[in-house]
C-alpha cells in the first residue's frame, strides 16, 4: 500500500467543509476542489439543465 499525505474533508451539508478547505488553502496547503461540482457548475453556465447533465 502506498502512503500519502492526502486528506478528504467530508460531512453533512452546511457543516463547514468549504470554510475549512478555504482556511487550509489560505494557510498555503495545496487543495483540490470537488471536481464534480466544478463540472456541474460549468455545464449549468452553458444553459444545460441538471436532468441533461445527469443523462450524460
Domain ranges within the chain, ordered by starting residue = 1-56
Residues 6 or more apart whose CB falls under 8 angstroms from that of 40 comprise 50, 53
Q: In the numeric block, which cell numbers belong to residue 7?
A: 486528506
The candidate with the shortest Cα–Cα distance to 18, out of 39, 33, 36, 30, is: 33
Residues 17, 11: contact at Cβ < 8 Å? yes
Q: For the whole model, what pTM was predicted?
A: 0.59
Q: In the numeric block, which cell numbers belong to residue 48?
A: 444545460
**pLDDT tens digits, residue range 3-41?**
988 899 999 999 999 899 999 999 999 998 888 888 999
Amino acid at each position: 500500500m502506498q502512503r500519502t499525505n492526502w486528506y478528504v474533508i467530508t460531512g453533512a451539508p452546511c457543516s463547514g467543509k468549504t470554510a475549512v478547505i478555504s482556511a487550509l488553502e489560505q494557510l498555503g496547503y495545496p487543495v483540490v476542489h470537488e471536481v464534480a461540482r466544478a463540472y456541474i457548475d460549468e455545464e449549468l453556465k452553458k444553459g444545460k439543465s441538471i436532468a441533461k447533465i445527469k443523462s450524460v
